[in-house]
Amino acid sequence: MATGQNDPERRERIIAAALDLIAEEGVAGTSHRKVAARAGVPLGSMTYHFDGMGELLREAFTRFSGGIVAVFEERLGAASTTDEAREAVADLVHHLSGGNQRELVLTHELYTLAAREPVYRELTREWMRRSRVALERHFDPATARQLDAMIEGLSIHRALETEPHDRALTVEAIARITRSPCARS
């Protein structure tokens, strides 16, 4: 019955399918059955490759957050001046809150898990840490931290708004956070 033939990319395919499904139907709507069907693997494969739904979810979100961080690092790494860095940050906000529901949805699914389970909080913590490190290539630590939070807030609000704010607002917010303090407040 079983063919036993190696399909080394099967694990990867399952993870990808899981991520797609989570994006479409949410963690709540994700089941072994649906993931298996989408990945084109038999149901029995699921618990063979992953030690239960928990492991699959963890792998999927590890992959996801890793991808987001990579974009983050790449864009900020490409900036060579502070102004370019500011532009990159604005790009990131609009990239994250743009048309792609996918990333928005997945981010919130992850945050929801993280809000309740420590294992996922580890993931978000690492994500935030690396974001900050990337920002610290251009800004001092306190500014980096504030900027990171600003990015978060702007992205979320932009994405959940029916009429998302335009770039000018984003740029202005970034400017305020990153400009050197005035001589007199």
Partner DNA sequence: AATGAATGAGGATTCATTCAT
Partner DNA sequence: CATGAATGAATCCTCATTCAT
Site residues, a second copy (CB under 8 A) = 26-28, 101, 104-105, 107-109, 111-112, 114-116, 121, 124-125, 128, 142, 145-146, 148-154, 156-157, 159-162, 165, 169, 172-173, 175-177, 179, 181-183, 185
Residue 99 binds which entry of a second copy, DNA, none, CB below 5-8 Å type-dependent: none
97: amino acid identity, one letter: S
Residue 154 binds which entry of DNA, a second copy, none, CB below 5-8 Å type-dependent: a second copy
Report the residue number, 51 or 166, with the smaller CB distance to DNA. 51
Task: Give the list of residues 6+ apart from residue 48 with CB closer than 8 angstroms, or none.
Answer: none
Residue 4 binds which entry of a second copy, DNA, none, CB below 5-8 Å type-dependent: DNA
Residue 34 binds which entry of DNA, a second copy, none, CB below 5-8 Å type-dependent: DNA
Report the residue number, 74 or 172, with the smaller CB distance to a second copy. 172
Report the residue number, 54 or 78, with the smaller CB distance to a second copy. 54
Report the residue number, 42 or 153, with the smaller CB distance to DNA. 42
User: What is the distance between the alpha carbons of residues 165 and 16, in angstroms, rounded to a whole number?
Assistant: 32
Q: End-to-end alpha-carbon separation of the chain, Å?
A: 76
**DSSP 3-state of 55:** helix
Count of alpha carbons within 13 angstroms of residue 51, beta-carbon side: 2
Nearest to 11 by CA among 58, 45, 61, 52: 45
Contact 66, 131 (CB under 8 A): no
Contact 82, 141 (CB under 8 A): no
Q: Which residues contact DNA by CB under 7 A?
A: 1-8, 10, 29-34, 41-49, 52-54
